Amino acid sequence: MQTTFTDTQALQGRLRLKILGLYNQAHAGHIGCSLSCIDLMIATLILRKREQDTFLLSKGHAAASLYACLNQLGDISDEVLATYYLNGTTLPAHPAPNKHRGIPFATGSLGHGLPIGSGIAHASKLLGDDARVYVLMSDGETNEGTTWEAAHYALQNGLDNLVVLIDKNGLQGFGNTADVLGDTADVRKWEAIGFDTVEVDGHDVDGLLGVIDQVNAAPNGRPKVIIAHTVKGKGVSYMENRLEWHYLPMSPAQYEQACADVTERYLTTIPNVAERTTVY
């Protein structure tokens, strides 16, 4: 899919407004973590994933960003999206499996996405197809032992069709990631065990597309990891780099300010797209 800077900037703004609308409707938290990873999902799930590929949002607490992207792709209707967080919804706080195309597994109990993704990638190798697997993890999730077990499994089996994306926003539920178990998302650790590694600005969609194309062009028997440097709460001034926005819901006034921030940053310079999303 060919896009221009204007296209991607508008998409970054529109999907952020959609995410904010969902959280405002639900009066729920996990806003900051959805805003830190949405640009990674634009690049992979929307702009680079092919029909035969698999995308797994391992950091399932950012489910609103996944739902917004699947709505953009037409896999979740506006009517269903409006049921987010409601009783009986198929769009709960963490993704539920087998309810919608694009959500093959439940995620959110951290450390499960890479083991599942490694298994899918290995199955593709055994079948001899060219499918790729993208696994989007949080940096805090690299604390999990299952993450490293799966990483070694991927190495042992030569899964060069596996692309791990780490949303490295530097914050997790209990504080700065560096202060909890150290920087387990450090590029040197992944290089040391044998992954092909690349670091990138996780909010530069064009840069992300370039590195995704780069790693996919190198079928050399080694799995890939893209360490994306991001900002928790990206796009909303009062949320950026603030731990509390891992958890807090917005007040009505905060929602208004968040929408204004996103509109000013991403949409006001683009004709005909500065309107707020009002469906939710």
Summarised one tens digit per residue, pLDDT across range 217-255 is 978 999 999 999 999 999 999 999 999 999 999 999 999
Per-residue pLDDT at 3:
55
- Whole-number Å distance between alpha carbons of 237 and 255: 12
Q: Do residues 167 and 229 make contact, with C-beta atoms less than 8 angstroms apart? A: no
Per-residue pLDDT at 175:
87
- Whole-number Å distance between alpha carbons of 53 and 124: 10
For residue 214, the number of C-alpha atoms closer than 13 Å in the C-beta half-sphere is 14
Report the domain count for the chain: 1
Encoded tokens for 136: 């989007």
Structure confidence by residue, pLDDT tens digits, 152-173:
999 999 999 999 999 999 988 8
Per-residue pLDDT at 4:
56
Instruction: Specify the pTM.
Output: 0.93
DSSP string, 126-194: HHT----EEEEEESGGGGSHHHHHHHHHHHHTT-TTEEEEEEE-SEETTEEHHHHT--TT-HHHHHHHT
Helices (H), the chain: 5-26, 31-41, 63-72, 78-81, 113-127, 145-156, 177-180, 187-193, 205-216, 252-262
Q: What is residue 266's three-state secondary structure?
A: helix
Per-residue pLDDT at 7:
86
Q: Is residue 279 part of a domain?
A: no
Per-residue pLDDT at 6:
64
- Could you tell me the CATH number of the domain that includes residue 13? 3.40.50.970
The range of the structural domain enclosing residue 211 comes to 8-268
Q: Do residues 246 and 30 make contact, with C-beta atoms less than 8 angstroms apart? A: yes
Per-residue pLDDT at 108:
85
> How far lies 160's CA from each of 77, 89, 129, in Å?
34, 37, 13
- Write down the residue that tokens 């499994």 correspond to: 153
Q: Is residue 179 part of a domain?
A: yes
Q: Which residues of the chain have pLDDT under 50?
A: 1-2, 273-280
- Residue 49 contacts by C-beta under 8 Å, 6 or more apart in sequence? 55, 134
Q: Do residues 246 and 80 make contact, with C-beta atoms less than 8 angstroms apart? A: no
Per-residue pLDDT at 280:
30
Q: Is residue 277 part of a domain?
A: no
Q: Is residue 3 part of a domain?
A: no
Q: Is residue 255 part of a domain?
A: yes
Q: Is residue 210 part of a domain?
A: yes
- Write down the residue that tokens 């490694």 correspond to: 118
Q: Is residue 274 part of a domain?
A: no
Per-residue pLDDT at 84:
97
Q: Is residue 275 part of a domain?
A: no
Other CB atoms within a 10 A radius of the CB of residue 174 amount to 12
Q: Do residues 235 and 229 make contact, with C-beta atoms less than 8 angstroms apart? A: no
